[in-house]
Structure 1
Amino acid sequence: MHARSGDRLVVHGKVVGTHDRVLEIVEVMGPDGTPPYRVRDDGGHESIMQPGPDCIVQPRVAD
């Protein structure tokens, strides 16, 4: 998994009926775009995350 700051990390819901979580990648802390990532949710809360197999990276859309 490789990402850049500004990409989105999508965490798929693990239980039927739960929604996916979409987080903004604020900082890439591993070498060459690898995890861990500092992420921010819609409420502005930041945390450090080591994504699992239920996550995908969506590249930032250029303006």
Structure 2
Amino acid sequence: MQSPIPIPDNAKWRKSTKSDQGENCVELWRGPQMAAVRDSKNAAGRLLALPASAVESLINTVGK
């Protein structure tokens, strides 16, 4: 499946440190302008693409 945003092949996807060791997790990739979220169980599946600034605001709000 082709990504709606250009994500490098060597992109570093991150899972929350608050995730348990189970399979119900999402992963986040952040680039300079865009970010993407994916299901950790289906890395080749669909992505949710967002502006990097929106993800930064979300992380700052939720992380407090």
TM-score range, shorter chain: 0.3 to 0.5
Greater share of residues in strand: 1
Greater share of residues in helix: 2
Bigger relative CO (Cα 8 Å, ≥ 6 apart): 1
